[in-house]
Amino acid sequence: KAKLLYDGAELNYPTLHGVVVRRAYAAEHPEVLEAFLQAQLDATDFLNTKPLEAARIVAESAGLAQQVVYLYNGPGGTSFDPTLKPSLVEALKGDVPYLKSIGDFADLDVAGFVQDAPLRAAFAARNQDYGKAVAATANPSALGGTDPVCNTAVNDTARASELWLEGSDSTQPAATPSCLLKAVRDATAKGAKVRAAYVPDAELGTRWFADKAAWVRDGQNYLPFGTPAGAQRYVTAHPGSASVDYQQALAGAV
């Protein structure tokens, strides 16, 4: 069985997908560029407001399992943010020396290459503040609502988790990974089957499958990590904590 051995978030270096258009084409067909950007903004809004439906569409088109697509497309997963943030531009500048070191890669003036004027115009056409959007750093899609098991608000994005049961067209939020464990335990005790359960890595925040995570018990809290190395770092730094497997975490959550 596959196991996550390394989480790229450990690098603490931004990664991104961008859109490139030739300047000549943009000058000749500004209406195409404008329509594309508006469509991209529409798609972004849809992804952020209806992530489960978006995951279904992608899964059916790509032949992937919807719960796998939702791992990345769901709240707290990949940040779908169309703005050209300064941190991303700086990351591109840092990529150039590396790309040159591994192959025939010409010098690139990143500052001149990055042009946000068309995107600013697209935002303005929607009466949206591009400057405010650039300054925002939180993931536009976040879990919220009320945890029905722990009876508390789901408002801590660093710990918010999510349960998806077989046969359900919606998911159930959990305020913390421990609450998620209780929800899984309660649901399975009633005969329900879990389609997927998602938790954020306690160190890096990466969204991951609860049953594939490396778990640590620290007092009454159960903390998930994407990799065994992450769990071990926590245990080493927190005397009294201990690594446990998923079944032990399910049984012990209170």
Question: What is the DSSP annotation of 70-121?
Answer: HHHHSTTSS----S--HHHHHHHHHHHHHHHHHS------HHHH---HHHHH
The answer to whether the CB of 48 falls within 8 A of the CB of 76 is no
Return d(Cα 185, Cα 198) in angstroms, integer.
14
In the predicted structure, residue 232 carries a pLDDT above the cut 70: yes
d(C-alpha 193, C-alpha 163), whole Å: 11
Query: Given a cut of 90, is residue 201 above it in pLDDT?
Result: yes
Phi first, then psi: what are they for 189, rounded to 5°?
-65, -25
Domain boundaries, the chain: 21-135, 146-252
Counting residues of the chain whose pLDDT is more than 70, the rounded percentage is 99
Average pLDDT over residues 203-223: 97
pLDDT tens readout for residues 136-152: 999 999 999 999 999 99
Instruction: Give the three-class secondary structure for 254.
Output: coil
Q: Report the phi/psi class of residue 214: left, alpha or beta, with left for phi > 0 and alpha for psi in -120 to 50.
A: beta
Residue 172 has pLDDT above 90, yes or no: yes
Alpha carbons 230 and 7: distance in angstroms, whole number: 9
234 — pLDDT class (breaks 50, 70, 90): very high
pLDDT at 1: 63
pLDDT of residue 106: 85
Query: Mean pLDDT, to the nearest integer, of 207-213?
Result: 97
Residue 2 has pLDDT above 70, yes or no: no
Q: Is the pLDDT of residue 105 over 90?
A: no
The whole-angstrom separation of Cα 139 and Cα 226 is 19
CB atoms within 10 A of CB 216: 23
pTM exceeds 0.85, yes or no: yes
